[in-house]
Every structure is written in structure tokens, then in C-alpha cells.
Structure 1
Amino acid sequence: MHSQAHDVGAPSLLEALRTGTALLHVALEKRLPFFSERLDADWYVRLLEAYYGFYQPMESALYDSGLIPDGFDTALRVKTPTLVCDLNALGLDAPAINTLPRCTELPTFNTPAACLGALYVLEGATLGGQVLRREITQRLNVNADNGGAFLNVYGAETGRRWKDFLDYLGVQPLDAPARQRAVDAARSTFSCFEHWLDSQEVLL
């Protein structure tokens, strides 16, 4: 009871994550080239290669941690295989994909709360992908069949899976320090992602 009383009036996990990552989210969105007039097919391929270079080690580290709280279906939500399919459709075979550079400076996932913070960023990105998908279809004629499936990774289930994820977050019994660890991990995920994309020279 004491810890619950201590948390009265504290923001929910979702509120803390939204507030704690808002500025980083906006800053990264401004640098993504999806709406740039200069974006062409070659840049798009390099962008997906860079996304793969982050998502592959990121998802491996998260899912292999053994610390994700029960209730998160990793098989349903893993995104790296879809990136591989897109890269295949864009002309990269397995040996070429295996030689792509991969991010080695990832956030540390040493607590369940940290895992939740990182998952919040990865799951939230599926919503933004809906807007990006429409833009890329119009600009580059790329769709789910020829290299754009990642931007619509959940398809018609996007809204439902986001709501399910929010429900999942809402039942996690995190105290104030744990919520802060979740926010720190989410912020670190945004920062690591931007630094990685920057190092691959695919940002504006």
C-alpha cells in the first residue's frame, strides 16, 4: 500500500513515455527524408538498409533479453523479417543483407521496464509508417509487394495492435523509479536510432 500511496497523482506509464519522448520524436521526424523532394529510389534503398542495420540487432537484443513482461507476442510483432523481405524485393540477396553494417551502440535492456520503453518506440513507429507508406507509394510507386511492406508491417491490424499494446502497457505494475527507467530506455532508443541513421548518411 505504501508504494501505491506514494504514486498517487503520478503520471501513467503511457503519459510518462509520451511526455518524455515528445521532443526526440519530433526532432527525428524532421530529419527523416520520406517527404523530401530529393528522395529517390536509391536513397530509399539506403534508408531501408539502415533501418535493417538498427532493427535487426535491436530486436535481437530485446527479444533475447528474457526480460519482456508476459503478454507481449514477439512472434506477432517482430519486424526484421519484413525488412528482409523488402530488401529482397529491392534486389538484395541474403549474402548482401548479411554484409550490411549493423548498429552496435544500442540501449541497455537490463530490466523489464527498459524493455517496455524500447517497445513503446518500436510499436509507435508502426503508426507513423501508415503516413509514410502513402507518401512513398505516391512518390516512388513502392508498395507492400515491391519493397514497402515494412511501412505497413501490420496492415489492416495496425490500429488494433496499437490499442492492444497500450492495454498491455496499462496493466504493467511499475512504480515511479521503474517508469523512469522505461522513459530513459525509450529516450535512449530514439537517440540511438537517430545517431545510427545519421552515421549511415540517410537523414536530412
Structure 2
Amino acid sequence: MSPVAPPPSLIQALRTETAELHVALEKRLPFFSPHLDLGLYQRLLAAYYGFYQPLEERLHRLALIPSGLDQSQRIKLPVLRADLIALGKDAAAVDALPVCRELPQIDSRAAALGVSYVLEGATLGGQILRRRVAEQLGLDASSGAAFLNVYGELTGRRWKDFLQYLDDRNLGEAQTLEVTHAAKATFTYFERWLDSQKVLS
């Protein structure tokens, strides 16, 4: 009898399950579009704000982030807000931005981990987008592109720490399924929201 293969690690499961959704969304984001200008970039950040604002609020209100992961260091909203103000919106205009009402269900620590995986992965990907925005629009952290480099020099370290955190979770099959389901739902709802805000290619 051939030996039974061990179940995939949580990180492997997340990468496999979200790969298609990740690539599909990446292709539609307009960062590398020839049409990217300041107006589109501002609308894109406003749409990001409209998704992150209720999602981060829900994560914190439900207090479902597992212990050992310092979520206070991983909040993106204040930086997004500062970018929008740097790009010309006043505080009242930012507060009045539409926010997403269709969010992934976060009803367990496993689901919160799945959502966090997508948000942390997007932060890592921001490094490539930051360079593109600097070249195309001449923006940096002080003029409206801080969100794309929100962790600065700590980006690589924080991503590795997050992956190590995932690796240290001893989740069973059911919980792993919860994590991957929440991650996939986050991609799906994010793309749907950005589509509704007419910022995708």
C-alpha cells in the first residue's frame, strides 16, 4: 500500500485555492494600464478605502484576530486616508466616500486569518505597484502613495512573520477549509466592489 500523502500546509492550501482569483484580479487592476492618471489613481484609492474601512472595522470589532498576531501594526486605513488627503480630498470628503456593504463572512478566527492573508499579501504586492506609481505619476509616500509602501522597510519581514504565524497554526481540515474559504471570498468581494466603483480594466 502506498503511503498517504500528508495534507498540504495552510500556506500551500491558501496559495493553491486563491491563485486563480488572485491572478484574475491582478490582470484587471489598472496600475499598469496606459490610462493610469492621477484621476484614476485617486478613484482607485477611494475604492480601496471603501473596502478596507468596513473590513478592518469588522475584524477589530469582532476581536477575532488570533493572539500572537499584532493587528495594531497591520492597520492600513489611516495611511489610505492620509494618501487621499494628500491627493486633494478633505477629511469630510473622505468620510463621505461610499463603503462596501458586501463583505466576506468573518465568524471565526480561521475566517479572520483568511481575510488577513489577502490583506497582507496585497501589502507585499504594493512594493511593485509603488515603483510603477512613482514612474507613471511621480508620487511617493509623502504625496499620495504611502499605502503602497505602508510597512516601508519592514514589508519583507512582516510578510515572513505572517507566513511563519500561519505555519505555526495547527489547524485541522475543517479549519483550514474555513481559512481558504474566507480568503477566496475576500478576493471575490473585493473584485466585485472595485468593479462596482468602475476602477477595473
1:176-191 matched pairs, under 5 angstroms: 176-191=173-188
Superposed counterparts of 1:68-87, under 5 Å: 68-87=65-84
Aligned to 1:15: 12
State whether structure 2 residue 159 is matched by structure 1 residue 162: yes
**1:89 maps to amino acid:** A
Q: Deviations over 1:39-89 (max 9, x none)?
A: 111000000000000001011111211221101111111000100010110
User: What are the within-5 Å matches in structure 2 for residues 33-52 of structure 1?
Assistant: 33-52=30-49
In the alignment, structure 1 residue 136 sits paired with structure 2 residue 133: yes
SS in structure 2 of the partner of residue 156 of structure 1: helix
Distance in 2 separating the partners of 1:86 and 1:66: 27
Unpaired runs of 5+ residues, structure 2, are none
Q: 1:30 aligns with which of 27, 31, 37?
A: 27
What letter is aligned with 1:22?
A: A
The CA deviation at 1:8 is 6.9
Query: What percentage of residue pairs aligned between the two structures are identical?
Result: 58
Counterpart CA distance in 2 for 1:110 and 1:124 is 21
Tell me by how many angstroms 1:173 deviates: 2.2
Distance 1:8 1:174, change over 3 A: farther
CA RMSD of aligned residues (A): 1.0
**Corresponding position of 1:88:** 85
* Alignment partner of 1:63 out of 60, 63, 66: 60
Q: Name the counterpart of 1:196.
A: 193
Give the aligned length: 198
5+ residue gaps, structure 1: 1-6
Q: What is the one-letter code of the residue matched to 2:80?
A: L
Listed one character per residue, the Cα deviations across residues 127-175 of structure 1 (whole Å, up to 9, x for unaligned) are 1100000000000001100000000000110000000001111111210
Q: Which amino acid aligns with 1:51?
A: Y
Distance in 2, matches of 1:70 and 1:172, equals 11
Question: Following superposition, which runs of at least 4 residues in structure 1 exceed 2 angstroms of deviation?
Answer: none
Q: Which AA in structure 1 matches 2:45?
A: L
Residue 123 of structure 1: aligned partner: 120
> Residue 172 of structure 2 aligns with which residue?
175
* Cα distance in structure 1, aligned partners of 2:136 and 2:130: 10
